[in-house]
Structure 1
Amino acid sequence: MYIGSTDHRGLMHCLWEIIDNSVDEALEGHCTEIDIRLHPDHSASVSDNGRGIPVDDVPGIGLSGVEVVYTKLHAGGKFGSGSYAASGGLHGVGASVVNALSARVDVEVDRSGKTHRMCFRRGEPGEFDDSRSRTPNSPFTPFTDSSALKTVGKVKKNVTGTRVRFWADFQIFPSTEGFSWENLLSRARQTAFLVPGLTINCWDERGSEILHETFRFDGGVVDFADWLASDGPVTDTWHITGQGTFTETVQVLDSDTGHLKAKEIERVCEVDCAVRWGIGYDTHIQSFVNIIATPKGGTHVAGFEQAILKVLRSYVDKSARKLKVNAKDGRPEKEDVQAGMTAVVTVRFPEPQFEGQTKEVLGTPQIRTLLSRIVTEWLDKKFASTKRDDKQQTQLLLEKIVGEMKARVSARIHKEISRRKNALETSSLPAKLADCRMEDVEHTELFIVEGDSALGTAKAARNSQFQALFPIRGKILNVQKASTADMLANAECANIIQVIGAGSGRTFDLMQARYGKVILMTDADVDGAHIRTLLLTLFFRYMRPMVEAGRVYAAVPPLHRIEVMAKGRKARELIYTYSEDELHRQLAALRKSGRTWKEPIQRYKGLGEMDADQLAETTMDRTHRSLRRITLADEEALRQAEDTFELLMGSVVGPRKDFIVDEAAHLDRTRIDA
């Protein structure tokens, strides 16, 4: 019930409980550094420089604060005591549950100039004999008459902190389960973003090489949202903050009667959110309550989403004429408004109600209304701003939402005709498409060729059994700058999406793609490279799964043809080269062997200059051709691709100008066709 499961997730949750206790100290301003270590003996330790767990006896209980925290439910510093204004604690059970599920727990506290220590075995306090080794199996003597918090050292009076080391109980957790280094780093990075100024050090000592990472961020949720976003910006990252109060009824112990009674308490809730929209269409929302992640959302996320949808819908309605929204387009839905949105939603208030100790869903109902009001007021001010930058960003955002709405409506209408057509339905595909006969998608290829002249040669050069051809007229729309609606209105882009047959954007279904390979076959000149870049931009923005699956290729047509003269028994020979360096190497080899060639050497400037046999042999025949596969190997490659497309094809001119100026010195002028 308290940790969710007894597998890997439950084990990590035990570690989170101990870490969160230290983070709560940081939230109150008493802790600046947390150290987390994964030890080779399957244990983990967490230390901080906070105030330290109280070591004095708790009135009315007769036990030290350390023993109460680690053995009694509902007795933590966050439960009804007012020690913490806002914390991740629910019932004051985290530390005691970890203790109960551990074969051994060692707690050391620096406080009042002394170091205090207490050990537990499966939740029972006592003493271990560690003369041989420090393990959960060391001889253990439980306390019987009374508990003792031992003093094991001295520290300076201004030095405080807590150190906790625990060994998971393999009677509960499978011995094959271990702590995840990757999950620990993700959680530590996330916490460092949410608590500006907190330093978190992580060590993994389990392998032959000790791993170490340190996290510290001072920018808060704005930096967090910028880090999460992987696409170019439509808006800046907006920082939404506010504070509100609400009342709730809680059960409080009456000191006179000793019974619980209902009492109305006023709570203060602080809201700290960051939201931005990018040119992509994926939605990424991360939510937190008192630094505790709520991956399944809750009332705070519901209030945030409600406000975003309500406000943006109203401004789309107000600007319907300017945005060219018709009645048939309907109204923006939640998925339209959240397309390309990255948001970090955090709230802080005392004693939050979660659905279970795993704290995946916030249940406090009053937070929904409070957060919706704060976000609505902030957005209304942003849209009413007369600043030029604010007006430009809000207009771009509304255009993006309308574009997503129209794309959704268009995708629904064209869903069926964008699938692979049978013989009776081929008329719905573009007339320019020269389709192949084979229906086995795995073996089919679609060549997107530049111009009708290249199409004529390619038709004669292709194998019509599995190779399809589709010509485009020159340079297509730059979709990095254009809205989704403009892209769909462009005939060339719409035809390419229809020919591939798998939809676009969020509706793209890789399983419905009509061809196993898409090969971009353009001329080997500057214009051809530009057209290839425009096509790649279209695939990257609206058909990215094709790129991620490695199904998009660039053809590599030759640059030169060397006609080698016959000599002796050696017959006349044709040699194709694909770069200037390769040309010079071939010519040097021919000179060395005493061969001569026909001058001038032919330089291909376009696919239309080749005859069908030459095109088939060099570029289309599977046995001889070379293809360049376009891939996104990992997340870092994705970020680099996003940055590159935004630099080369985006709407911001300044960085592109700087790039051109910087790279001009490396340009080989002889490679420009003029």
Structure 2
Amino acid sequence: MKARECRGPLHVGWHFAVRVAPDARCRRASVSLTVVSSDYSARHLSVLEGLEAVRKRPGMYIGSTDSRGLMHCVWEIIDNSVDEALAGHGSDIEVVLHRDGSVEVRDHARGIPVDIEPKTGLSGVEVVFTKLHAGGKFGSGSYSASGGLHGVGASVVNALSERLDVEVDRGGKTWAMSFHRGEPGRFADGADGPSPLSPFSPFEQSSELRVAGKVAKGVTGTRIRYWADPQIFTKGASFQLEELLARARQTAFLIPGLGITVLDERGDEPETHGFRFEGGISEFVEHLSTDGPVTDVWRLNGDGRFTETVPVLSDRGAMVPTEVERHCHVDVALRWGTGYDTTVRTFVNIIATPKGGTHLAGFEQGLLKVIRSQVEQNARRLKVGNDKLDKDDVLAGLTAVLTVRLAEPQFEGQTKEVLGTPAVRSIVASVVQKSLAERFASTKRDDKAQTALVLDKVVAEMKARISARTHKETQRRKNALESSSLPAKLADCRSSDVAHSELFIVEGDSALGTAKLARDSEHQALLPIRGKILNVQKASIADMLGNAECAAIIQTIGAGSGRTFDLSAARYGKVIIMSDADVDGAHIRTLLLTLFFRYMRPMIEEGRVFAAVPPLHRIIVQNPGTKPNETIYTYSEAEFAAVTKDLTRRGRKFGEPQRYKGLGEMDADQLAVTTMDPKHRMLRRVGVADAEQAGRVFELLMGNDVAPRKEFIIDSANGLSRERIDA
């Protein structure tokens, strides 16, 4: 190459670093060329112009670059298939987590258009995956209501993928295209199959949507497989199967009849999970509910219209503000339960809005207005006086799923966590008020009975809130001179240091006597309970508060109960349940844990509830001469058998082992060493990894419904060792 050619116009496709002759002027020219990539054609740079911004600021589009952002990318692709199903095209979606870290989404919908888009001259597939704000969801009539509306989902995932392959069945053919970090081109895959590490050649002059095969006439669908780019996502980012299954289940609930299959090939054995529900959001509410029912699942639905001004592209190519009329459909399923926890899930065009928005505000507004009106009308029967309902009183024990469908909703950001369309609030409030008022005015026997129970529940919640606020100060930690408001049977500790204080809930007065001698009275308090306390999973809040043992525990801990529970006001850093090592002791421990789970759950969630582990056996090993005998404690039948076998093998003599039936059989020194002294004791921390699953287990084992519990006992009988039964 001559020197004058080096000074000529730059053509990005030339590989100057290889071809330039080594003279001084050309070396200067080669230095200036480093600001421009020599791997791209000029045409290609124009395509990557928008996607490069996505790679530089991924958090703007997917929230983060950890596992949460990785999962958001999956749902950008899946939601496109869901939008097709929502529009009535395709009833099955398959998601595959491949062993090589890639994800594949398959559907049997209309397929991405493969013809040429006239404005860009590119195929529909390339437009969708390389152009930001391009798609069929901008009021073109392809979708009346969809989850995607910004037209950036597929292109963002493409930009953040090391490799993306798309196949489209349409017009009797299978069309295919591949991308490398947003660039269309070809991968030279080997015998091992597709890989992001395969040699890649970008298209130089024009892109090619190649024909990869043939399909039967009328067969349509889309298959997208992509490998997340390790340059973008953090090292520990991974696809979370449980989160994917929860979202797939949720989507299947929201679109009755839609089947979603998730195949995980990453483990030793492939796992397949399928979801398809015909009951819609009513079935969703039943799935979310963990407590006993106060009402059946109620459905509230209606429609509303509103106008808004939006920019519309005119024939001259200019954006003109135009007033358009919108239609909004509202569908709500709700039920009240016996608990106090509130679960409200909101969706816009089946996209979850975990942070709410105008539709949630309208729902709460309409709900509160109707319930307040009904309470005022029944004030004499309910004995409410001048007290006024709060929103939390109405929401206590409520499980609800709220969905709205409208064209082009306004979201805050691409993550779509908050709905911002202002007119939706009044429409949802109006629909809820009208439908719920009709339910309360119904003359049907079931409706009258259930609405009366709802009013009783919300008024009881209001009275409990007011009572808790009135007595909040008296529930704070008292010193020794102020302990008159605490239970008389409480043997409190002297220290006021909450972090280092412990409350032992002990079974029976006999154990209390021994525990008093065994404890460190500076930091350890004792509260005895008589036998088995009330099963609060079955009982009402009033019955629970009226029970002497439950009330004593709540009063002693001093942080309130239910919605009013204030963890910062708890009087003890640890609560330790110390019951006998037998079946009755296990039952008492379960009843106490049920009380904590239902009414003082933050104590469990913060890891401040423990179960003591007292020994089952005491073995005195005889030593020769004047050497003191050795005492060994064992905590299970298996450990006891292993210890005695080892002693016998070594020829050690030991007396008749002592089997402890209860804590009262130990003397103070034994109880201190084995169960109460922090230097030697063993504690089992109680935790809740999944609150919803734990709630279902508590309802199964401790609830009112006997049949499922009986079935569980029968099915689990084979896994229970007879030696574990103290009978």
- TM more than 0.5: yes
Q: 1:578 to 1:211 in 2, by over 3 A?
A: closer
Q: Deviations over 1:104-125 (max 9, x none)?
A: 4433211111112233445444
Name the CA distance, whole Å, in 2 between partners of 1:460 and 1:124.
77
> 2:450 maps to which residue?
393
> 1:226 maps to which residue?
286
> Are 1:346 and 2:389 counterparts?
no
Give 3-state SS (helix, strand or coil) of 1:153's partner: strand
**Which one of 357, 371, 376 corresponds to residue 312 of structure 1?**
371
**Which one of 320, 325, 330 corresponds to residue 384 of structure 2?**
325
Name the CA distance, whole Å, in 2 between partners of 1:302 and 1:381.
21
> 1:358 maps to which residue?
415
> Are 1:631 and 2:683 counterparts?
no
> 2:221 maps to which residue?
161
Q: 1:507 to 1:253 in 2, by over 3 A?
A: same
Name the CA distance, whole Å, in 2 between partners of 1:557 and 1:177.
41
- Aligned-residue offset at 1:414: 2.7
> 2:466 maps to which residue?
409
Name the CA distance, whole Å, in 1 between partners of 2:661 and 2:271.
55
Name the CA distance, whole Å, in 2 between partners of 1:468 and 1:231.
33
**Which one of 191, 196, 205 corresponds to residue 256 of structure 2?**
196
User: What RMSD over aligned residues (CA atoms) do the two structures have, in Å?
Assistant: 4.7
Q: Deviations over 1:108-151 (max 9, x none)?
A: 211111112233445444x315155653663424252x544322
Give 3-state SS (helix, strand or coil) of 2:341's partner: coil
> Are 1:254 and 2:314 counterparts?
yes
Q: 1:63 to 1:470 in 2, by over 3 A?
A: closer
Name the CA distance, whole Å, in 2 between partners of 1:581 and 1:45.
48
Name the CA distance, whole Å, in 2 between partners of 1:301 and 1:397.
21
Name the CA distance, whole Å, in 2 between partners of 1:5 and 1:326.
49
The runs of 5 or more residues in structure 2 that have no matched partner are 1-56, 620-625
Q: 1:142 to 1:317 in 2, by over 3 A?
A: same
Name the CA distance, whole Å, in 2 between partners of 1:130 and 1:270.
49
Q: How does 1:40-189 map to 2 (within 5 A)?
A: 43-59=102-118, 61-125=120-184, 127-130=185-188, 132=190, 134-135=195-196, 138-144=199-205, 146-169=206-229, 173-174=232-233, 176=235, 178-182=237-241, 183-189=243-249
> Are 1:216 and 2:275 counterparts?
yes
Name the CA distance, whole Å, in 2 between partners of 1:191 and 1:136.
34
Give 3-state SS (helix, strand or coil) of 2:116's partner: coil
- Whether the 8 Å contact between 2:70 and 2:233 is mirrored in structure 1 is no
Q: 1:489 to 1:579 in 2, by over 3 A?
A: same
**Which one of 418, 433, 440 corresponds to residue 376 of structure 1?**
433
Q: 1:581 to 1:321 in 2, by over 3 A?
A: farther
Name the CA distance, whole Å, in 2 between partners of 1:42 and 1:611.
60
- Aligned-residue offset at 1:226: 2.6
Q: 1:109 to 1:650 in 2, by over 3 A?
A: closer
Name the CA distance, whole Å, in 2 between partners of 1:602 and 1:141.
78
Q: 1:616 to 1:165 in 2, by over 3 A?
A: closer
- Whether the 8 Å contact between 1:407 and 1:484 is mirrored in structure 2 is no
AA of the residue aligned to 2:331 = D
> Are 1:335 and 2:396 counterparts?
no
Name the CA distance, whole Å, in 2 between partners of 1:612 and 1:140.
80
Name the CA distance, whole Å, in 2 between partners of 1:621 and 1:367.
61
Select between 439-448 and 267-276 the one with higher mean Cα deviation.
Answer: 439-448
> 1:502 maps to which residue?
559
**Which one of 277, 280, 289 corresponds to residue 348 of structure 2?**
289
> 1:27 maps to which residue?
86
Select between 233-242 and 640-649 the one with higher mean Cα deviation.
Answer: 640-649
Give 3-state SS (helix, strand or coil) of 1:241's partner: strand
Q: 1:467 to 1:340 in 2, by over 3 A?
A: same
AA of the residue aligned to 1:634 = A
Give 3-state SS (helix, strand or coil) of 1:337's partner: helix
TM-score (norm 2): 0.75
- Aligned-residue offset at 1:20: 1.4
Name the CA distance, whole Å, in 1 between partners of 2:633 and 2:101.
62
Q: 1:581 to 1:3 in 2, by over 3 A?
A: closer
Q: Deviations over 1:634-666 (max 9, x none)?
A: 32xx567545654665456777899999999x9
Select between 457-466 and 331-340 the one with higher mean Cα deviation.
Answer: 457-466
- Whether the 8 Å contact between 2:260 and 2:276 is mirrored in structure 1 is no
Name the CA distance, whole Å, in 1 between partners of 2:420 and 2:556.
48
Give 3-state SS (helix, strand or coil) of 2:490's partner: coil
- Whether the 8 Å contact between 2:264 and 2:272 is mirrored in structure 1 is no
AA of the residue aligned to 2:141 = G
Name the CA distance, whole Å, in 1 between partners of 2:96 and 2:86.
21
> 1:245 maps to which residue?
305
Aligned length: 656
Identity %: 63
Name the CA distance, whole Å, in 2 between partners of 1:169 and 1:660.
49
- Aligned-residue offset at 1:156: 0.7
- Whether the 8 Å contact between 2:363 and 2:428 is mirrored in structure 1 is yes
Select between 541-550 and 343-352 the one with higher mean Cα deviation.
Answer: 541-550
- Whether the 8 Å contact between 2:518 and 2:668 is mirrored in structure 1 is yes
Q: 1:310 to 1:211 in 2, by over 3 A?
A: farther
- Aligned-residue offset at 1:160: 0.8
Give 3-state SS (helix, strand or coil) of 1:3's partner: helix
The runs of 5 or more residues in structure 1 that have no matched partner are 563-568
Select between 52-61 and 646-655 the one with higher mean Cα deviation.
Answer: 646-655
- Whether the 8 Å contact between 1:325 and 1:402 is mirrored in structure 2 is yes
Name the CA distance, whole Å, in 1 between partners of 2:352 and 2:176.
31
Q: How does 1:295-306 map to 2 (within 5 A)?
A: 295-306=354-365
Q: 1:136 to 1:644 in 2, by over 3 A?
A: closer
> Are 1:273 and 2:332 counterparts?
yes
Name the CA distance, whole Å, in 2 between partners of 1:70 and 1:265.
29
Name the CA distance, whole Å, in 2 between partners of 1:561 and 1:72.
75
> 2:65 maps to which residue?
7
Q: 1:649 to 1:397 in 2, by over 3 A?
A: farther
TM-score (norm 1): 0.80
Q: Deviations over 1:383-439 (max 9, x none)?
A: 233344333333333333223222322332333332222344333323332212344
Q: Deviations over 1:3-57 (max 9, x none)?
A: 1445124444333222211111111121122233344555433221111112223
